Amino acid sequence: MDRMDEYRALCAQLEETPPALEYTLTRAKARRRRRKFGRFLGIPAASLAGIFTAFVLLVNFSVPVALACSHVPALLPLLQAVAFSPSLKAAIEHNYAQYIGQSQTVDGITLDLSYLILDDAQLTLLVEVNGPYDTYHAYAEFQTLDGEKLPLSTLSGDFPGGSLEEGVSAYPSSDDFLFPDTIRIVCKVEGYDRAGAPADSGNWDTLPEFVFTVPLDTSVLNDHRTEGETGWVEVDGQRLRFTVESWPTQSRLIVEEHPDNTAKLQTLDFYLEDETGRQYQRHGNGLSAMGTAFLFDTTYFDRPQSLTVHLTDSTWLDPAREYVPIDLETGEVLGTLPDGVSLYLHRRSDTSVEVALVAPKPAGYTDTYMESYGVSAMRYRTPDGVIHQINQSSHSYSHVLWPNTKDEAIIPDTHFVEEVPITDCTWDTVEFGLYYTWRSEYDLPLSFPLG
């Protein structure tokens, strides 16, 4: 019997209540109600410490026992505290957390790879980093044991040091991908001391590389369900068809665009609602590598009888208006910008120009939640037909643009600014790439039931 068979056998034993233990919890609660708190103080501290130490050693040195511990209800709150998304919390509650318990220390930085959560659609690492920084960012590449990179798209964000966090999530790039039984994880970590850094500093220190070999419990794979689909529906004069697929860690709203459409869907904000009124909220961005698909809170464990898609806003790109010509000398826009958007220029040098796109704040903007969206496509085309990529941009909510210069401009309170640089450009005119042509925010959601 291998270690995974041991683990499954142990889980099966844990799910059964031995006859001698039937009604134990009921009897214990009754005794507890009669017992005074003072009796607890009579337990020797050494005994409690010994029990705790034995438990920690058992978890850390026995992989089957450690894996089984993630199925014990008393331990679930420890994991639930670090699963920020409702979908991951639901997956943990239903025993999809797998214990790893590996730790490495290199050059004073300790990376604890504590747990992972796995299904066919997503692999998420729960990690803890300790060291001299207060903020960290982890990047991970997933490989076979031979070092071949697996076709996974990864997402990660900043997180504080010294606590268990949702570090990295990975998504298969195709529906036919199969997770292997064992993977090699190469983690690259960056550190940043927010408390000691200047307010305008964004420099991250590159930290050591960590390599882990991790077994996967692939018995949890193939847990997947199709919740339903709509027929072709009309949205903003375009035809779309929606399908909902659900896994333990996520659900996806898959959007099919009709071939006769005159515009391309760029973004979609929505929520889903079941027959009881329970809502499932969107999170993350569209998964362009897998077509037009948007993640939202999983419906997998709720098994709703019916679902309705509610659209709250969308953005669209007309291919005929993907680029707008601008004169870099005069700042004149020689085409049509999206509704409500203005363009300003500020020349930094003979070959460098700062482009500012001033756009209306979205409906969800507040002083504490400064939401914005992309206007630029982060590219421009020169008269010789060459497309140049723009590698940086910034969003701001300043009331004054380029103060104390000849290009100073006052920005309305109702708008935000997206700034992008055009550098090493000797042309007088370029075609500036736009991410969208128009945006629609619906006063009342557009609702479409799934069949």
Q: Note the pLDDT tens digit of each residue in 106-156.
A: 999 999 998 898 888 889 998 999 999 999 999 999 999 999 999 998 888
282 has a pLDDT exceeding 60: yes
- What is the per-residue pLDDT for 78? 53
Q: What is the DSSP letter of 43?
A: S
Of the ranges 34-43, 209-218, 226-235, 295-304, which one carries the lowest mean pLDDT score?
A: 34-43
Range of the domain at 415: 339-435
Per-residue DSSP letters for 1-48? Answer: --HHHHHHHHHHHHHS--GGGTTHHHHHHHHHHHS-GGGGGGS-HHHH
Average pLDDT, stretch 156-163? Answer: 87
Q: Is residue 362 part of a domain?
A: yes
Of the ranges 87-91, 193-197, 414-418, 444-448, which one carries the lowest mean pLDDT score?
A: 193-197
284 has a pLDDT exceeding 70: no
Q: Is residue 88 part of a domain?
A: yes
Q: Is residue 32 part of a domain?
A: no
Higher-confidence position of 430 and 32: 430
Q: Is residue 155 part of a domain?
A: yes
Q: Among 220, 238, 258, where does a domain finish?
A: 220
Q: Among 169, 201, 220, where does a domain finish?
A: 220
Higher-confidence position of 99 and 371: 99
The span from the CA of 294 to the CA of 434, in Å, is 22
Average pLDDT, stretch 370-394? Answer: 92
The span from the CA of 155 to the CA of 174, in Å, is 16
The span from the CA of 154 to the CA of 173, in Å, is 10
Q: Is residue 24 part of a domain?
A: no
User: Average pLDDT over the chain, rounded to whole?
Assistant: 81
**Domain count for the chain:** 4
Does the reported pTM lie above 0.85?
no
